[in-house]
A and B are shown apart, each in its own frame.
Chain A
Amino acid sequence: MNFDFSDDARALSESARRMLTEHAGPDAARRIMDSDVAYDEALWRQVVDLGLTAARVPEAHGGVGLSPEESCVLAEEFGRSLAPVPFLSTLLATEALLLAGTEVQQAKYLPGIADGSTIACYAWGEGVNSPTAIPATRAESGRLTGTKSPVADALTASLAVVTAAGEDGPALWLVDLKNVSVAPAATLDLVRKHGTIALDGTPAEPLGTSADYQRFIDRAAVILAFEAIGTAGAAMEMAVGYAKDRVAFGQRIGRYQGVKHKCADMYIKLELARAHALYGAWAFAADADELRHAAAAARTASLDAVRFAAEENVQLHGGIGFTWESNCQFYYRRARQLSAALGSRAFWADRLVRALEQRNRAAA
């Protein structure tokens, strides 16, 4: 057993971290929040130059052909740094293409992703639906009709992976956004910009089957769990740093058990989530049957970790934590985005228990 990432994955994550520490983080997030632009274009160029969009793309399509482990470690680094670039969105689309794309589709789209000329988004939400509910968006003779909102990075993307009603449940479609109307959609997250995609008989290509879709959201759940873990870790570090520094009643507040235990609980939730996420990363890479429950557990635990860290980070900062100027708000708001990104906690908790039941039945 080797319950850790490969040396290659670690090396990649370290170089990503170095770059993101220098060019992303709360200051970059604030610049994007305060501006009208949808993402940090200069940072995106660095991401592409470092080969991060090419990491998962097979060599045959102009990429580096790395494993799912690399997707996971990168997701954590982007989550940690709040990087205002469409990396996670493009990564999810990459994974969808790798999982379900035909040879022709992969050859058509992956090279552009690898060289940075294609930015992609993943469009599934249309109101109060969960990821496995039949979407209202319909496909008819290769054309989609329906509205997706809010979609992360829709304003910058040229390619969308869209869910629509398939024969047995939701399925994925590829939509070229060139001639599609995309309007800005305001959300609780002021840094990661979202859009509304209005499809009205828009030409689309099917991307795999409904069964592929179910496997796709499991893989996506693992990747997003790592993103949430990165964000939770950054919020925890901010809180712990402040607790070591701030003085009240003649002592650093970290001396008080009320504060200490909160920090310890952040760590406990984070490490539980990380353990589940690592298990999920293994199941993803090995294409193991365990993926269904491992992914659901990772996603559920990671949402718990990030919500707790984000809320209590504000709390441990006192009045300053509740200001616009403080960086606490980035994590507080991002935790809402992470929850909305692919079905909330209750959905994944239910999916987890269903998966466990199925395993029990299979074992019996």
Chain B
Amino acid sequence: MDFNDTPQEAEYRAKVRAWIAEAAKEYEGLPEPKSQDEYVARQKSWQRKKYDADYAGLTWPKAFGGQGLGPMNAIIFSQEEARSAAPTGLYSIGLGMCIPTVFTHGSKAVIERFVPKALEGGEIWCQLFSEPIAGSDLAGIRTKAVRDGDDWIITGQKVWTTFAHLSDYGIIVTRTDPSAPKHKGLTMFIVDMHAPGVEARPLKQMSGGADFNEVFFDGVHVPDAWRIGAVGDGWKAGLTTLMNERLAVGGKPRNSPGWRTLMDLARGIDTEQGPAIERMDVRARIADTYINDEGVKLTQMRALSALSQGKTPGAEQSISKVVVAKTMQDMAAFALELSESAGFAAGEKDSELARLQGAYMWSAGLRIAGGTDEILRNIIAERVLGLPGDLRPDKDTPFNEIVPL
């Protein structure tokens, strides 16, 4: 066992670090983007740099424009990227989830048309799965697609679609056969977000920002050539996306506060029970936060090291998000309470307190996005531990005859 980089990994890390140091210099000390366009332009420029220097799609097959490297290279790159000022985030859904689905299930023509362009950052993608009626129960969606010659016509509504308002394309799960049981009547397509009949309306989040949208489809034409997988195989394609999602959103969000934040904060606070940093309740919370966050990181490394030795990682990875999101909520609440009135007054921009307040608000969404705490626990219980599954009364009923219990 060795927790250090192997000589090859160390060499790769040194190379990547040197490149990022140079390439990300221009973003250092930049203020937050002032407009949406500026945000997108900045994100685009970084993706383009990576693409030009052969650092995009590190683990993707060469045939799809990737580098065909192992997962250790990707993790080393993203670790180094996270230490820099490089602007990332906008491509996590497209490149992390949508495009892997496209090249796993899409036709050759579709792959050639969309994958390279996405990789260089030229086109932005979103994931059009959830609907008002169904989120956890993805197979319960209603947006319909009806065949019309060489096209399909899509009508319905998606919701909570992150970055839809900035996207050029999306992968959409639709119902093509309402008389089949719910999992069997689904089909996935690529949809042009600028096509007539598509309307993305940003939705404001509880935390104040508006990263997600409701998206309306009113008779939107999609060529059959843009179908991802066979008609009726949308569930299978969707599962590919969700598996990639668990990897893409599983970890702790970049720049989010952690045990160090709490430790630093506690150092600066004197309480009647003594300096906060010496209080047992504070020390216990720092320890809890460390155990959870670092435990998840080490678990991810375990999975990666299995991969780097050509073995299949176990199911341990599935604990990530359920741990990270709630830990963030608990740590942030504790830190704000420790700060008493100062933790409740809106923190000054870019201050540690403002970040903690942001984390407290955002953690509530993180516990829901990409599979809720409850659904993730069901997955651990059923798929990992082999406990019997929930009864699914509607599983074999034709979708249009389902009556909820």
- Answer yes or no: B204 CB below 8 A from chain A CBs: yes
CA distance A189 to B345 in the complex (A): 9
Contact, CB under 8 Å: A249 / B390: yes
B137 surroundings in chain A (CB, below 8 A): 248-250
Whether A315 contacts B364 in the complex (CB less than 8 A), given A258-B377, A324-B208, comes out as yes
**Identity of the chain B residue whose Cβ is nearest the Cβ of A131 in the assembled complex:** B340
Question: Which 7 pairs between the two chains have the least Cβ-Cβ distance?
Answer: A250-B394, A125-B341, A340-B344, A324-B204, A344-B337, A186-B346, A247-B404
- Answer yes or no: B10 CB below 8 A from chain A CBs: no
Contact of B329 among A132, A311, A319, A325 (CB under 8 A): A311
Interface residues of A in 183-200 (CB under 8 A from B): 185-189, 194
- Answer yes or no: B338 CB below 8 A from chain A CBs: yes
Whether A128 contacts B342 in the complex (CB less than 8 A), given A250-B404, A319-B135, comes out as yes
- Answer yes or no: B108 CB below 8 A from chain A CBs: no
Whether A340 contacts B343 in the complex (CB less than 8 A), given A132-B272, A332-B206, comes out as yes
Residue interface mask B255-288, A partner, CB < 8 A = 1: 0000000000000011111000001010000000
CA distance A188 to B393 in the complex (A): 43
Q: How far is the CB of A116 from chain B (nearest CB, A)?
A: 28
Contact, CB under 8 Å: B140 / A126: no
Contact, CB under 8 Å: A125 / B340: yes
Contact, CB under 8 Å: B204 / A323: yes
Q: Which among B66-74, B170-178, B365-373 touches the partner chain?
A: B365-373
CA distance A336 to B346 in the complex (A): 11
Q: Is the interface of A mostly helix, strand, loop or mixed?
A: mixed
CA distance A320 to B368 in the complex (A): 10
CA distance A190 to B134 in the complex (A): 30
Interface residues of B (CB under 8 A from A): 130, 132, 134-137, 140, 159-160, 203-208, 269-273, 279, 281, 329, 333, 336-346, 357, 360-361, 364-365, 367-369, 372-374, 377-378, 390, 392-395, 397, 402, 404-405
**Identity of the chain A residue whose Cβ is nearest the Cβ of B133 in the assembled complex:** A247
CA distance A322 to B279 in the complex (A): 34
CA distance A187 to B341 in the complex (A): 9
8 example contacts (A-B, Cβ-Cβ < 8 A) are as follows: A248-B135, A250-B394, A311-B329, A315-B368, A319-B159, A323-B203, A324-B205, A324-B206
A252 surroundings in chain B (CB, below 8 A): 404-405
**Identity of the chain A residue whose Cβ is nearest the Cβ of B391 in the assembled complex:** A251
Contact, CB under 8 Å: A187 / B346: yes
Whether A314 contacts B364 in the complex (CB less than 8 A), given A187-B345, A188-B346, comes out as yes
Contact, CB under 8 Å: B392 / A329: no
- Answer yes or no: A280 CB below 8 A from chain B CBs: no
Interface residues of A (CB under 8 A from B): 125-130, 132-133, 149-150, 185-189, 194, 247-252, 255-256, 258-259, 307, 311, 314-315, 318-326, 328-329, 332, 336-337, 339-340, 343-347, 349-350
**Identity of the chain B residue whose Cβ is nearest the Cβ of A150 in the assembled complex:** B345
CA distance A114 to B234 in the complex (A): 67
Q: How far is the CB of B101 from chain A (nearest CB, A)?
A: 21
Whether A127 contacts B340 in the complex (CB less than 8 A), given A249-B392, A322-B364, comes out as yes
Q: How far is the CB of A123 from chain B (nearest CB, A)?
A: 10
Contact, CB under 8 Å: A314 / B340: no
Q: Which of A249, A252, A323 has the most chain B CB within a 10 Å cutoff?
A: A249
Contact, CB under 8 Å: A186 / B345: yes
Contact, CB under 8 Å: A129 / B337: no
A132 surroundings in chain B (CB, below 8 A): 272
B340 surroundings in chain A (CB, below 8 A): 125, 127-130, 340, 343-344, 347
Whether A319 contacts B272 in the complex (CB less than 8 A), given A150-B344, A340-B343, A346-B337, comes out as no
A324 surroundings in chain B (CB, below 8 A): 203-206, 208
CA distance A333 to B159 in the complex (A): 24
CA distance A102 to B135 in the complex (A): 61
A188 surroundings in chain B (CB, below 8 A): 344, 346, 357, 360
CA distance A150 to B134 in the complex (A): 41
Q: How far is the CB of B401 from chain A (nearest CB, A)?
A: 11
Contact, CB under 8 Å: A255 / B357: no
B373 surroundings in chain A (CB, below 8 A): 315
**Identity of the chain B residue whose Cβ is nearest the Cβ of A262 in the assembled complex:** B374
Whether A249 contacts B136 in the complex (CB less than 8 A), given A307-B333, A322-B365, comes out as yes
Whether A322 contacts B342 in the complex (CB less than 8 A), given A248-B137, A345-B337, comes out as no
